[in-house]
Amino acid sequence: MLEQLDTIESEAIRELNAAADADAVEAWRVAYLGSKGRLKALMPGMKDVPKDQKAAVGKRLNEVKAALETAYESKKSSTGGGGAKASGPVIDMTEPGLIHSEGVGRRHIISRVRDELVEVFARMGFTVAHGPELEDDEHNFIKLNIPPGHPAREAIDNFYVDDPDKGAPRMLRSQTSTVQIRTMEDAAAKGWGPPMKIISPGRVYRPDTVDATHSFMFHQIEGLHIDRDVSMADLKTTLFQFARAYFGADADIRLRPSFFPFTEPSAEFDMKIALKPGEDPKWIELGGCGMVDPAVLGACGIDPEQWSGFAFGFGIERLAMGKYSIPDIRLLFENDVRFLEQL
Ligand code: DAH
């Protein structure tokens, strides 16, 4: 048996060396290492090997098998792949792929509009401030002059969340006005302001029934400017400049008297723009604004006798829909690439 193994090994190596192409190498593999090959054919003979030689013969058998496999692998790579595979179709690695596999992603339209807005306000001296999306009563309501019992706090109009850590319910913020409060508190506590001029884009949540103009989650951008002698004229100028910078030199704005608990006086503001070239300009409602109520300044540790300020907040989706003629807010959240790649 040991002699047979030696013979097989030397013959196999000789034949493998002589194999000229991938087909010959594959034929060799079948002849020696295949399931009906010469090594396998020795197996039945193992039972006739005397007991005391069994271990030595088994070891030698494994050695020969390993040696032939190694020789085969290196021969295969030097002849460019093993038999069957090499005769299959050749893959050209340099050929360009299908268009779809090359599709380049891009940022979502809401992210892009948000960044454009931030950039426009940054040019007017506003810096970005952030606040948490999981808020408490104090920042979403109390300090914004929305006392207990106010209709805006109704459970059906807000996403309240039980928070065992705080022992009090918290909520997903319903407006970015929370960031006004946090910024004023922080400035007063740490002494870095006023004056202050901040802008805060972010998500807000309201349990509205989803339709073409409502979503349970959307984005707002909040502005706050506090300094000495800030007036309604400054507010209107800022909004006007913003409208021109974002929508172009033809854009106009108007303020309509309104009410918000945290501003006095308060207004809604609309922007007049032609959504498409040649189309008649239309008013679109963008959001609310006003002079920060002295009670709100006081609640945040800022002396209303010395400082005054304006604030505004508007919906980013509404603005994006206006600018890009998007008819349904749901399109912005369904993430259908066929829609998104048009923007
Ligand atoms: N927070 C208001 C809303 O969600 C929008 C708003 C109105 C923000 C007036 C303001 C403001 O800062 O001054 O409806």
100 has pLDDT over 70: no
Which residue has 């010469």 as its token pair? 38
Q: Give me the mean pLDDT over the 326-339 stretch.
A: 92
Residues of the chain above pLDDT 70, percent:
95
Q: Looking at 194-208, 229-243, 280-294, which range is the least confident one? A: 280-294
pLDDT 10s digits, 4-54? 889 999 998 899 888 888 888 888 999 998 889 888 888 888 888 888 888
How far, in Å, from the CA of 330 to the mean position of ligand 1?
A: 23
295 burial (CB, 10 Å; 0-12 / 13-18 / 19+) is middle
How far, in Å, from the CA of 172 to the mean position of ligand 1?
A: 16
Q: Which atom of ligand 1 is nearest to the CA of 177?
A: 1
84 has pLDDT over 60: no
82 has pLDDT over 60: no
The angle at the Cα of 39, spanning 36 to 41, to the nearest 5 degrees, equals 55
How far, in Å, from the CA of 5 to the mean position of ligand 1?
A: 90
The band of 128, judged by pLDDT with boundaries at 50, 70 and 90, is: very high
pLDDT reported for residue 110 = 96
Strands 170-172 and 159-161: antiparallel
Q: Two tokens at 109?
A: 């339209």
Q: Two tokens at 60?
A: 């030698």
pLDDT 10s digits, 137-189? 999 999 999 999 999 999 899 999 987 777 778 999 999 999 999 999 999 99
Highest mean pLDDT among 63-72, 82-91, 94-103: 63-72
Task: Determine if the pTM surpasses 0.75.
Answer: no
SS3 (DSSP) at 232: helix
Strands 127-128 and 134-135: unpaired
C-alpha 337/C-alpha 155 separation (Å) is 36
DSSP class per residue in 8-45:
HHHHHHHHHHH--SHHHHHHHHHHHTSTTSHHHHHGGG
- Nearest protein Cα to ligand 1, atom 4: 175
199-205-209-210 Cα dihedral, nearest 10 degrees: 60
The more confident residue out of 3 and 278 is 3
Closest listed residue to residue 273, CA positions, set 313, 321, 237, 219: 321
**CATH architecture of the domain covering 109-340:** 2-Layer Sandwich (3.30)
Q: Give me the mean pLDDT over the 193-215 stretch.
A: 96
Tell me the pLDDT of the chain averaged across its residues: 90
pLDDT 10s digits, 248-294? 888 899 999 999 999 999 999 999 877 666 778 888 889 999 999 99
- Which residue from 140, 182, 260 has its CB within 8 A of the most atoms of ligand 1, so it is best to mutate? 260
Angstrom distances, CA of residue 227 to CA of 193, 232, 255, 292: 9, 13, 22, 11
86 has pLDDT over 80: no
Rg of the chain taking only CA atoms, in angstroms: 38
Residues with CB under 6 Å of ligand 1 are 175, 177, 222, 260, 263, 287-290, 311-313
Q: Which atom of ligand 1 is nearest to the CA of 144?
A: 1
Residues of the chain above pLDDT 90, percent:
57
How far, in Å, from the CA of 169 to the mean position of ligand 1?
A: 23
Q: Where are the beta strands (DSSP E) in the chain?
A: 127-128, 134-135, 159-161, 170-172, 196-205, 217-227, 252-260, 263-273, 282-292, 308-315
pLDDT reported for residue 83 = 46
pLDDT reported for residue 166 = 74
pLDDT reported for residue 101 = 54
Strands 282-292 and 263-273: antiparallel
How far, in Å, from the CA of 162 to the mean position of ligand 1?
A: 26
Q: Which atom of ligand 1 is nearest to the CA of 314?
A: 5
pLDDT 10s digits, 295-319? 999 999 999 999 999 999 999 999 8
Query: What ranges do the domains of the chain cover?
Result: 2-79, 109-340
Phi and psi, residue 205, nearest 5°: -130, 135
